[in-house]
Structure 1
Amino acid sequence: MPELPEVEVTRLSFADRIAGAEVLDVHLGKPLRWPLGCEARRLVGQTVQRVTRRGKYLLLHLNEGIVLMHLGMSGSLRFAVSLPELGVHDHFELRTSRGVLRLHDPRRFGAVVFAASLDDASARKLLDHLGVEPLEAGFDPDAFHRALKLRRASIKQVLLAGDIVVGVGNIYASEALFRAGIRPSLRADRLSKPRALRLHGAIVSVLQRALAMGGSTLRDFSSAEGQSGYFQMDAMVYGREGQACRICGSPIRSIRQGQRSTFFCPQCQKL
């Protein structure tokens, strides 16, 4: 599933190129997770002013309204002057004066939703519950520690929930917890302030590293230019069950938390 670095890599790969483009036509394929929320023709003739991101949502700001896009479990975007003929898994396409933006999503857990503004009920339903952005100044270490003290769930599950800090998905939660030396099953409210601050720093550094490496390509992720990411080759624990820890040599272990695989080193993450 594309996480925050992959979504930001996607944004950076086409945002400048599509800015200022006029929407010429819209194609809708099979239904996605939610309906578009307007007639497709409402987008035609509008201009894409800029592309921003909130958590794992890409926001295409038009001169009248916003298109919110989520890549779901298997989605990816392409943007090019021209693209091959639409395939069976291509479910949304925005044809513009500067190129074609296409959502490819085999599992159809992605979403494309129109909202009149960020204050619109449809936008607020998707965005209002999201936590702070981990790569922005609002991600305050002390506030992070205070929020963790209110949670009795495991720290891994709290990170995945996304309402304290947004976008730290399964891959990067495992990696950040390893770098902070914290066992994924530890209750969030039992983290001391020094350990919470260490985790805060690990989250930032892991996400920055992933962004610099183009994200992670485990199955089919690639940027809007078709480029794969390479962070998975740099991972310390994720996807390395049974392999030697790069620090202590102990075999990496895997457990299930909330129906997701969590990877950790039993020696480097004792508590």
Structure 2
Amino acid sequence: MPELPEVETTRRKIEPLLLDRTILEVQHDAPHKYRDTHLAAGRRVTGLSRRGKYLMLHLAAAEAAHDQGADSPHDLEFIVHLGMTGGFRLEGGKHTRVTLRTDAGDLYFDDPRRFGKMAVVRPGEYAGMPTLAAMGPEPLSADFREEDFAELAAQAGAVKPWLLSQKPVSGVGNIYADESLWMAGLHPTQTRLTREEAGRLYHAVRDVMGRAVEAGGSSLGRGEGNYRQHDGLSGLFQHAHNVYGKGGEPCPRCGTPIEKSVVAQRGTHHCPQCQPLRRETV
């Protein structure tokens, strides 16, 4: 957490607060976690986009800075990774790590567990962010093609860690991997998917991610690290979960108790009846 649906919801919600606004200052006390954010000062936000689980603020070239001999007069990208518990808020609090000051007011980045990161870079220069640099296509875009996905899946190892790697498709994390695999009827450790299995998973990923985005993502539990939107509202997709977080409960498709295990060091939920492990060689 947060995964693609939560980050996309964040983008949509804060876009009206930042678009065409000028960043005056980025305040924090952790330059090793929030790298080169001083370069954003004096620049106008020309757009907000998302790549997988990364939020991107597009910053216009600072002509005034260029005239004054500043180091970076070029267009820049302000990259934000929310980590496990990061999110923007309208008011500061005890977990505020970054204050984004603009000519329209302040926006606060809260992060109880401190895993969130930020960096200001030249567009596309992601050498310090290898996951972003090697990320696969967006699951709801035309670039995510069933034929390409199936070709990769035929050679893949355990399917859940493969999805979580971000290489076959971007933005799928623990929650949405479990939900997609249940919908596709695939065991989380299944390897080397057949063409038919890969097709089922391809469509499941697109369906799950699309519905989760429209529902504003998933909010789990009531702790301080629980995902919520900048205005305090929670996501709603947790009410549509079929297996994630439901260990021991009956599968909504067949009634078999959902099993919880650990796959690739991640808590994993699946139905042993609907998602059997195919052992024969493909």
Q: Structure 2 length normalisation: TM-score?
A: 0.87
Note closer, same or farther for the CA distance 1:120–1:270 as it changes in structure 2 (3 Å cut): closer
What does residue range 154-193 of structure 1 map to in structure 2 within 5 Å? 154-187=158-191, 189=192, 191-193=193-195
1-structure distance, mates of 2:252, 2:93: 42
Query: Residue 76 of structure 1 aligns with which residue?
Result: 87
Query: Which one of 204, 207, 210 corresponds to residue 208 of structure 1?
Result: 210
- Output the CA distance in 2 between the equivalents of 1:213 and 1:121: 34
Gaps of 5+ in 1: none
Q: Does residue 48 in structure 1 map to residue 50 in structure 2? A: no
User: C-alpha separation between the residues in 2 aligned to 1:18 and 1:98?
Assistant: 8
Secondary structure at 1:93 match in 2: strand
CA contact (8 A) 2:4 2:52 kept: yes
Question: Is contact 2:138–2:169 with CA below 8 Å preserved after alignment?
Answer: yes
The C-alpha deviation readout for 1:24-52, integer Å capped at 9, x for no partner, is 222114x37x4433262x32221111110
The aligned residue for residue 137 of structure 1 is 142
Aligned with residue 35 of structure 2, among 37, 40, 63: 37
| Displacement after TM superposition at 1:174 (Å) | 0.4
- Distance, in Å, in 2 between the alignment partners of 1:182 and 1:120 is 34
- Aligned residue for 1:10, secondary structure, equals helix
State the match for 2:25 in structure 1.
Answer: 25
Residue identity opposite 1:60 in structure 2: L
Match of 2:133 in 1: 128
| CA–CA separation in structure 2 for the residues paired with 1:96 and 1:230 | 30
Question: Shift of the alpha carbon at 1:109?
Answer: 0.8
Residue 273 of structure 2 corresponds to 267
Count of aligned positions: 259
Superposition CA RMSD, Å: 1.6
Task: Say whether the 8 Å CA contact 1:56–1:70 is kept in structure 2.
Answer: yes
Asked if the contact 1:14–1:225 (Cα under 8 Å) also holds between the matched residues in 2, the reply is no
Q: Shift of residue 221 of structure 1?
A: 0.5
Letter in 2 for 1:132: P
Give unmatched runs, 5+ long, in structure 2.
62-75, 278-282
Report percent identity of matched pairs: 39
Q: In the aligned structure 2, how far is the partner of 1:173 from the partner of 1:36?
A: 29
Change (3 A) 1:195 1:121: closer
Structure 1 pair 120/109, CA: closer, same or farther in 2 (3 Å)? closer
Work out whether 1:13 is the aligned partner of 2:13.
yes
C-alpha contact (below 8 Å) 2:37/2:119 kept by paired residues: no
Map of 2:264 onto structure 1: 258
Shift in Å at residue 110 of structure 1? 0.6
Quick check: 113-122 or 195-204, which moved more? Answer: 113-122
| Cα distance in 1, alignment partners of residues 212 and 93 from structure 2 | 30
Deviation at 1:20, TM superposition (A): 0.4
Q: Deviations over 1:132-160 (max 9, x none)?
A: 11111100001001111222x21011001
Partners of 1:258 and 1:61 in 2: CA distance? 35
Retained in 2: the 8 A contact 1:22–1:46?
yes
**Partners in 1 of 2:35 and 2:250 — Cα distance?**
49
Deviations 1:154-212 (A, max 9, x none): 1011001111111110000000000011111111x1x1101101100000000011111
